[in-house]
């Protein structure tokens, strides 16, 4: 296993749509292992192939200590709406308030090519949608309204500290 460099905003590889995974072999297994190690070391909640410079339909996520590996995903369902401060390993140091579906269901394949379906609410739903967007060359900041503020993590922490003191 190896930690791979994470591609950041401005690198054209982040905007590449993913090609389908067609071979479910040891090479794919090694790539997934590298992606999980890279995500955990960052640390992050998810990592898409584009974030390590590969144009593949492949992502990994770890939410509530559950690891998910998904190839060739399709969003089957989205419902509800909720907002949360969202960030991205490819846009390091920044957060923005982003609306997303509160519930999402994705179907794809695992590292062996077997069909997997993941249904989630809250953070898992957000991670599904965030990583799925990466596979289409989209970043979370692309879906923000024009007037939406993007804060540094330090600015966001200061805002939370002010709100806590006001309570």
Which position among 66, 69, 86, 131 bears the catalytic label? 131
Among 46, 75, 58, 54, which Cα is nearest to 21's? Answer: 58
**Quick one: tokens of 153?**
């993590």
Instruction: Give strand pairing partners of 59.
Output: 48, 70
27 is catalytic: no
Give the separation between CA 120 and CA 103, rounded to whole angstroms: 6
Active-site amino acid positions: 131
């Amino acid at each position: 296993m190896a930690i791979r460099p994470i591609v950041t905003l401005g690198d054209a590889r982040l905007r590449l749509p993913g090609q389908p995974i067609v071979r479910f072999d040891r090479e794919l297994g090694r790539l997934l292992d590298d992606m999980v190690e890279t995500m955990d070391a960052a640390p992050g909640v998810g990592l898409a192939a584009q974030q390590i410079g590969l144009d593949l339909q492949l992502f990994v996520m770890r939410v509530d200590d559950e690891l998910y590996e998904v190839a060739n995903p399709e969003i089957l369902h989205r419902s509800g709406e909720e907002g949360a401060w969202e960030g991205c390993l490819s846009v390091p140091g920044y957060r923005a308030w982003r609306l997303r579906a509160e519930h999402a269901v994705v179907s794809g394949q695992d590292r062996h090519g077997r069909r997997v379906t993941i249904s989630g609410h809250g953070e898992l739903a957000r991670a599904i949608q965030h990583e799925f967007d990466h596979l289409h060359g989209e970043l979370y900041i692309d879906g923000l309204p024009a007037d939406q503020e993007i804060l540094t993590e330090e600015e966001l922490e200061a805002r939370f500290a002010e709100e806590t003191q006001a309570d």
